[in-house]
Chain A
Amino acid sequence: MPKVENGAAPVGLQFGKEMGTLALPGEEIGKLVDTTPPHGLQSPQDQKRAVVRLGSGVTQRGSSLLSSKAGKVCFDGRRNKTWVENNQKRYVPALEDMVIGVVEERHSEDVRLDINGTDTATLSSLAFEGATKKNRPHLDIGSLIYCRITRASKNMEAEASCIEPGSNKSWVGGEALYGELKGGNVIQVSLGLARSLLVPNGPVLTTLGAKIPFQSAVGVNGRVWIQSSSTEHTVLLSIAIAKADTMPADEWKAFVKKMLEQAT
């Protein structure tokens, strides 16, 4: 039984590897366990929980789960989801990823987004909370969109949406989580850094936020959007975040300190 880090223990899934250990491509990381009534879980609540979600880097062959890339084995107990995590630059869309896309083409009913992957993603013009045929956002070519992936398949174009489940904030008010990002600057970082920036109270954004107030949106496709009150600050923040990709943590802190001293 692997060490449980995030909430509950896995259901309907038996790990063959310890959490956080390295998996190589093709290696079996675990097995699916039959949990239908005669075998185990009886209550409908447990049954519901027994849905195993496979994230990026994990493929299913029969009842065994194989890793499709080299990386760290991860598991989220709250969602009963397992995935293999590594640092890379190429983005492969996965379900429920928060990404920053750039509008590449406009069609009557949808737009095509560049999401930094091999293929584009489609975003319906109505996939905004409260959008109707008559009242929907106007998205120009080159607009930045913060959205989530609602369909990811290796054989089909990905689909994105700006509707946040469980929220009813209209796209008009500007309070919705997803939507168009206006102004600011975008930098490209590795996917590993992008994921680490999304961790609540992560060191990079917290350190910078203590010195310069700014807004940011992080897409797990490696795009980070930054906006602050002045051009100069945005430049500094962009450089600092990009540097965090290659510098060790202590060196980075010293670098940021020096950079901010020189700037002010």
Chain B
Amino acid sequence: MHDKSISTSERLFASECVSAGRRLDGRSLTDPRHVSVTLGPSWGFAEVAFDNTLVIASTSVDATAPSSERPNEGVLTVVADLSPTSSEAAARESLARSGHTPVVTEIRNCIDKFVREARAIDTEALCILAGVKVWAVRVEVDIINDDGNCVDACVMAVMSSLMHARRPDVTVTGKEVRVHSLDEREPVPLPVHHVPLSVSFALFGAGKPYEPDMVVMDPVKKEEIASGGSLSFAFNAQGEVCGVYKAGGLPLQPESFVQCSELGEKRALKLTAILNKALADSSAKHPRASLRPMLVTPEPVAQVRSRHTRKKDEVMSEAAPLSMWNATPIEDTLPPPPSATDRDPVKVHAVEGVDSAIASLLQGRKEVDEIVQVEEHVEMEMEPEREDGPKPTEIIEISDSSSSDDDLESAIISKGKGSGGRR
């Protein structure tokens, strides 16, 4: 990342500070900045600020035709954009030509890896009628001000937005799909599987071979520019690694990698707590109890035996909230759904709308099981000496041939696989 507006002196000073164990803004090397999350007033609007870094995200849901390759899967699209006023580099770039800055490309890659490829949203649960209509979820992220660590802010904004967003309720009756307007039914939350949150580090080489690198958590813009590379981890509330992204040319020492993952896990849990608080606060503004948003439920890894039941309970405890969607009823004549629940629209209560959501959530469980297995496998390899890890019986259940290999490098490789090869 080359930023012309930064002088050599500033760059050297940033590195000098890190070598001296200090930061440009007075923090210690592993201190994060203050994070604030604001949700609402409309569904799916999130504003995430890491001090001066400000990112907004909004989610919109539309019913569209599915792709022919995946007729029973909804679509999740995340669009990231860098406002020309966010930083000097961005302004320059937008004046010079209409291309994208390297920052945006990196952020897009990260969001894709951490949110879409980690299957934060169960796209199969977004199916309305297989082959005919599915939900298309579109998240738009805008970087309003870039003062470093946009990746974390963007991933958090996307996940906050998805957690807060609602889609209109639908009733499938035989050949008919009815999309209920907000007056009719309260909209339902999106099928969020898990909430991966990213924690990024700027890496500064020690200058000597075989010595651990200096890692800086939550870097500001200048530190990002001065650093030799960056490393981002995505962890969910269960402490599972959902993705790793390494950028920059600096060769990373294994010790530093482990150090980052340990710091990252702790940080991700704190971010989850911040997000949960924001979700709870946003619900407090709504007069009705049924408007409470889903919260991220942290759960020890050992207990993740059957995510089906957990997911069901979680969704059951949340009644469908009041609609703010301007959804228009679709009353097209459609072919009968293969797996839709037949119900009489007159007798349906608001709570029953959730049932259909659960029914659709329970579809295509095979893939979910695979995800859980991969994630647990990764977790075990990451921390082979962990005493209070999963029970032995469960290890047998989910481990495969390579789990005996405790070598750190293979752990890194399988982590990459775990995050990227889930589809």
| Interface pick from A47-55, A60-68, A179-187 | A179-187
* Interface presence of B8 (CB below 8 A): yes
B24 touches A182 (CB 8 A): no
* Interface presence of A238 (CB below 8 A): yes
Q: In the bound complex, how far is the Cα of B11 from the Cα of A185, in angstroms?
A: 9
Q: Using Cβ atoms and an 8 Å threshold, which residues of chain B touch A125?
A: none
B1-19 near A? 1/0 per residue, CB < 8 Å: 0001111111111001100
| Interface pick from A126-134, A191-199, A229-237 | A229-237
Q: Using Cβ atoms and an 8 Å threshold, which residues of chain B touch A182?
A: 9
User: Which listed residue, B5, B11, B22, B88, touches A232 by the CB 8 Å rule?
Assistant: B22
Q: In the bound complex, how far is the Cα of B20 from the Cα of A234, in angstroms?
A: 12
* Interface presence of B397 (CB below 8 A): no
Minimum CB–CB distance from A102 to chain B (whole Å) comes to: 5
Q: In the bound complex, how far is the Cα of B4 from the Cα of A57, in angstroms?
A: 28
Minimum CB–CB distance from A59 to chain B (whole Å) comes to: 24
B8 touches A140 (CB 8 A): yes
B26 touches A239 (CB 8 A): yes
Q: Using Cβ atoms and an 8 Å threshold, which residues of chain A touch B9?
A: 142, 144, 181-186, 225
A235 touches B24 (CB 8 A): yes
Q: Using Cβ atoms and an 8 Å threshold, which residues of chain B touch A28?
A: none
Query: Which residue of the partner chain A has the closest CB to B5?
Result: A114
* Interface presence of A104 (CB below 8 A): yes
Minimum CB–CB distance from A66 to chain B (whole Å) comes to: 27
Say yes or no: A238-B24 contact (C-beta < 8 A), given A142-B7, A143-B7, A181-B9.
Answer: yes
User: Which listed residue, A116, A140, A185, A236, touches B10 by the CB 8 Å rule?
Assistant: A185
Q: In the bound complex, how far is the Cα of B16 from the Cα of A34, in angstroms?
A: 59
Minimum CB–CB distance from A243 to chain B (whole Å) comes to: 10
Q: In the bound complex, how far is the Cα of B95 from the Cα of A142, in angstroms?
A: 21
A117-149 near B? 1/0 per residue, CB < 8 Å: 010000000000000000000001111100000
Minimum CB–CB distance from B288 to chain A (whole Å) comes to: 40
User: Which listed residue, B6, B17, B24, B26, touches A102 by the CB 8 Å rule?
Assistant: B6
Minimum CB–CB distance from B386 to chain A (whole Å) comes to: 38
B22 touches A142 (CB 8 A): no
Minimum CB–CB distance from A182 to chain B (whole Å) comes to: 7
Q: In the bound complex, how far is the Cα of B226 from the Cα of A186, in angstroms?
A: 14
Q: Using Cβ atoms and an 8 Å threshold, which residues of chain A touch B6?
A: 102, 142
B8 touches A235 (CB 8 A): no
Q: In the bound complex, how far is the Cα of B361 from the Cα of A126, in angstroms?
A: 72
Say yes or no: A186-B8 contact (C-beta < 8 A), given A231-B17, A231-B22, A235-B26.
Answer: no
Q: In the bound complex, how far is the Cα of B10 from the Cα of A231, in angstroms?
A: 12
Query: Which residue of the partner chain A has the closest CB to B20?
Result: A231
Q: Using Cβ atoms and an 8 Å threshold, which residues of chain A touch B25?
A: 239
Q: Using Cβ atoms and an 8 Å threshold, which residues of chain B touch A104?
A: 4
Q: In the bound complex, how far is the Cα of B119 from the Cα of A149, in angstroms?
A: 55
User: Which listed residue, A142, A232, A234, touches B8 by the CB 8 Å rule?
Assistant: A142
Q: In the bound complex, how far is the Cα of B12 from the Cα of A3, in angstroms?
A: 49
A185 touches B8 (CB 8 A): no
Q: In the bound complex, how far is the Cα of B222 from the Cα of A102, in angstroms?
A: 15
Q: In the bound complex, how far is the Cα of B7 from the Cα of A102, in angstroms?
A: 6
Q: In the bound complex, how far is the Cα of B12 from the Cα of A234, in angstroms?
A: 13
Q: In the bound complex, how far is the Cα of B4 from the Cα of A235, in angstroms?
A: 22
Q: In the bound complex, how far is the Cα of B220 from the Cα of A238, in angstroms?
A: 15
Query: Which residue of the partner chain B has the closest CB to A144?
Result: B7
Q: Using Cβ atoms and an 8 Å threshold, which residues of chain B touch A236?
A: 26
Q: In the bound complex, how far is the Cα of B17 from the Cα of A22, in angstroms?
A: 43
Query: Which residue of the partner chain B has the closest CB to A105?
Result: B4
User: Which listed residue, B10, B16, B88, touches A186 by the CB 8 Å rule?
Assistant: B10
For B13, B20, B95, the residue with the greatest tally of chain A CB atoms inside 10 Å of its CB is B13
Q: Using Cβ atoms and an 8 Å threshold, which residues of chain B touch A232?
A: 20, 22
A14-31 near B? 1/0 per residue, CB < 8 Å: 000000000000000000
Query: Which residue of the partner chain B has the closest CB to A186?
Result: B10
Within 8 A of A (CB), among B224-268: none
A186 touches B7 (CB 8 A): yes
Q: Using Cβ atoms and an 8 Å threshold, which residues of chain A touch B10?
A: 185-186
A31-57 near B? 1/0 per residue, CB < 8 Å: 000000000000000000000000000
Interface residues of A, Cβ cutoff 8 Å to B: 102, 104, 114, 116, 118, 140-144, 181-186, 225, 231-232, 234-236, 238-239
A-B contact pairs, 5 of them (CB 8 A): A104-B4, A142-B7, A183-B12, A183-B13, A238-B24
Beyond contacts A104-B4, A185-B13, A239-B25: 7 other A-B pairs, Cβ-Cβ < 8 A, are: A116-B88, A142-B6, A144-B7, A184-B9, A185-B24, A186-B9, A236-B26
The 8 A-B residue pairs whose C-beta atoms are closest, nearest first, are A142-B8, A185-B13, A102-B7, A144-B7, A231-B20, A104-B4, A186-B10, A142-B7
